[in-house]
Amino acid sequence: MSKTALITGASGGIGLELAKIHASKGGHLVLVARSIEKLSLIKEDLEKTHAIQVKVISKDLSSKDAALEVYQEIKKEKIQIDYLINNAGFGDFGFFYETQWNKEERMIGLNITSLTQFCKLFINDMISQGGGKIMNLASMAAFEPGPLMAVYYASKAYVLHFSEAINNELKDKNITVTALCPGPTESGFQEASSQKESKIVKGKKLPTAKVVAAYGYDAMLKGKAVAVPGFMNALLVRLVRFIPRSVLVKAIRKLQEKV
C-alpha cells in the first residue's frame, strides 16, 4: 500500500528532493509551500513521471495557525498522512541587536511553532492508524550557540531536543521521529539568510540538497533518532560536547564572520 507523505517547504532545496525520492518509490504526496506556481509545476512533473497523486497547498507557515489550516484541509479531503516531514525553515544573518524583529518572529513561527503544531495535530492520527514516521529538519547548528545567527541556531536546538523527546515518548506507538541535522548544504539557504559571504560557506564545496535528502529519507525509514549526514559533520558533533562552551561560542563566531 502506497504511503502518503506531507512535506513542508517543498518548492525547492531539500524539501523538493525529498518529494522526488518519495515519489520515485510510488508514494503519494501533499506538498506545502508559499509559491503555488512552483508547486503546480512540481505536481505536474511528479504525477506524470511516477503515476502518483500529488496535492499541493499554498500556505505561509510562519503565520499563526497555518499548520492547523493545512491539517483541516487534509482532513476534509480524507487524506491519511503516513510520513510527516517538517522541512520548511529559514535563517537570518547579523548581530541580534541589528536584525529585524518581524523577520525573527516569522522565523520562530516557521522553525518552531508551525513544526510543533504539525506534530501535535498528526501524532494522534498516526497513533489511531497504528504507526507513522516523522522527520524534522534540524541542523548541525542545533549542537552549539551561533553568534551572528543567534535565533536560527537556537530554533534548531529546539527542533533537535523536541524531536528526541517525543521520539522517546512514542517508542511504544510504532511512530519514530527523526531529527535530520545537516551542515551547510547547497540548497539556496545561504542566499536567503545572507550567509553566503561567511567563512563557514564561502569557497567551500557543499553537499547537494539531493545527497542530504537521500541520507535523511533513509534515516527516517530506519527510525534513526538523530541523523547527521557526512562523516566529518558527525565527528564534529561528537567533539563539540568536549569543548568548553566559552571556547565553542568564540569558534562559531569566527566561522560565521564574513570573509
Of the residues 152, 153, 215, 217, only one is catalytic, namely 152
8 Å CB contact between 114 and 8: yes
Cell, residue 52: 502518483
In angstroms, rounded to a whole number, what is the distance separating the alpha carbons of residues 234 and 240? 10
Residue closest to 249 by CA, chosen among 153, 123, 137: 153
8 Å CB contact between 5 and 30: yes
Cβ count near 95 (within 10 Å): 9
- Catalytic residue list contains 152: yes
In angstroms, rounded to a whole number, what is the distance separating the alpha carbons of residues 181 and 52? 29
DSSP letter assigned to residue 3: -
In angstroms, rounded to a whole number, what is the distance separating the alpha carbons of residues 92 and 47? 35
DSSP letter assigned to residue 109: I
In angstroms, rounded to a whole number, what is the distance separating the alpha carbons of residues 3 and 52? 11
- Active-site residue set: 152
